[in-house]
Chain A
């Protein structure tokens, strides 16, 4: 269980924040950052560990969000149950898109384009279909009871999203320590070599995509409950697909803490931009773009990679210093 200790420490620290401050501004910022981290965790499993770059995680996020909202509004289903069904629905969409693309051998940019296309198709359908409320969107009735998964204060929401992030961190750590995780890394590094060694690469990718979609869908379900409103542009919009890949790439793709780290950094930058430049539309996206270019050019393994590199250099310098026991 030593492997889970860093996760426990980080989650405990974050869990203590509401005990220190009651500022809605801080909590709101952290909720959105953790939501980004959660969706980024989903992307990271498939993209960071598996090397399958999706540009369409909105497809899963949106399915989770709509399922949660529609089940409550149109079918009177309990919100908690709606949340669970939303996750399952997102996983199912992931499995279907995964089966279609991986069985036809789509890789690299082709896979990226197909996932983008699926998300766009879903967005267009959602913006005209009556069941989603079409262009008007779906509004969840205000019902501030824990049974309805709605709360007066932001604190319970904060703990719920933190709990979801914690679960995703533990899942990621367990996958890292499993044969499934080892196979996922192998097929990222070289798919033919993995096949020759007995890895059913299609099945492994499909499994990764399903879990990845389920995690992203959980983010969508949470979004619906937190903001109580979903429309096509929010649920299936490219903003969430971009956030899903930006956070892990900035933080460190293929690392457990990468998405969380990246989400906090990216959201802080976004807020800082707003402070400096006001609400100029799209300026935060310009900043994100610049950050992405800088990271890809100068720190391809993200902030986590930079930190590891710095730590190793520090350790190397320390061990070279004369008079040290192993120097």
Chain B
């Protein structure tokens, strides 16, 4: 396989007595969607924070195109083409949707007019055109998730780290968002996503890492991973896989 775009090598993060991420290694291949799944508290968001430069690992290194980027601050990573969205959305609430997206577009454009033009195009892509002149604070949850995505896209990233952009959406909103994400990969952007909505992971991701209690439980294609008894037990508790099989046998 080709050299990975991103390589996480033996990364750990300790908060006092809590080992939130424990010796995690993973590779992100260029041009595809890699998903990071796992139960709550597995350390997914902490791992994301380390990849995006918001936290420095206690141990281990992170590489981008072979360069060591461990501990590089987020704004420098953004200039390298790595940017993230936040699970708890962080709109610039007092600014309009247009201005929110323009902040991202300013990364590669000094002129206000150019940034605002680029922002309007991004709004087209993520379906926020009608909301451009509205204050960001007036957006619904789904709108704010789209805004997170739009702002990150406006920086023209090579790697986009999406932290639960689908969480909290209703089925209609979900169905509308999945093609948007696919449109993003069609632009040649590599995506790493933390996601709980398995249906979306199954249909979007090419490769899945399962994180539980801070370490990688298993990895593989979505189909391989969901059939893994350890994954089911990580989510549903010890012995759950066996019970599910028993139930399945009775009904099957």
Contacts and interface: CB of A to CB of B under 8 A. Distances in A.
B78 A197 contact: yes
A32 B209 CA distance: 66
A192 B79 CA distance: 15
A200 interface: yes
A271 interface: no
A194 B86 contact: no
B115 A179 contact: yes
B78 to A, nearest CB: 3
A224 B87 CA distance: 53
B103 A186 contact: yes
A198 B115 contact: no
A189 B93 contact: yes
A239 to B, nearest CB: 31
A320 interface: no
Interface string B28-64: 0000000000000000000000001010000000000
A195 B54 CA distance: 9
Given A189-B92, A189-B94, A189-B95, A194 B112 contact: no
A190 B52 contact: no
B155 interface: yes
Interface residues of B, number: 32
A179 B107 CA distance: 9
A257 to B, nearest CB: 18
B112 A183 contact: no
A179 B52 CA distance: 23
Contact of A183 (B78, B106, B152, B154): B106
Contacts of A190: 90-93
Given A192-B90, A199-B103, A179 B110 contact: yes
A185 interface: yes
B222 interface: no
Given A197-B152, A198-B79, A183 B74 contact: no
A198 B112 contact: no
Interface string B101-134: 0111011011110010000000000000000000
B83 interface: yes
Given A182-B102, A201-B75, A196 B110 contact: no
B99 A185 contact: yes
Contacts of B13: none
A193 interface: yes
B110 A198 contact: no
Interface residues of A, number: 20
B82 to A, nearest CB: 10
Contacts of B99: 182, 185
A178 interface: yes
Contacts of B52: 196
A143 interface: no
Nearest to B78: A198
A192 B54 contact: yes
A168 to B, nearest CB: 21
Contacts of A186: 92, 95, 103
A197 B161 CA distance: 12
A195 B112 contact: no
Contact of A195 (B74, B91, B92, B102): B74
B106 A196 contact: no
Contacts of A198: 75, 78-79, 83, 104, 106-107, 155
A199 B53 CA distance: 13
Contacts of B92: 185-186, 189-190, 193-194
B84 interface: yes
Interface of B: 52, 54, 73-75, 78-79, 83-86, 90-95, 99, 102-104, 106-107, 109-112, 115, 151-152, 154-155
13 contacts: A179-B110, A188-B94, A189-B91, A190-B90, A190-B91, A192-B54, A193-B91, A195-B74, A196-B52, A197-B151, A197-B155, A199-B75, A199-B103
Interface of A: 177-179, 182-183, 185-186, 188-190, 192-201
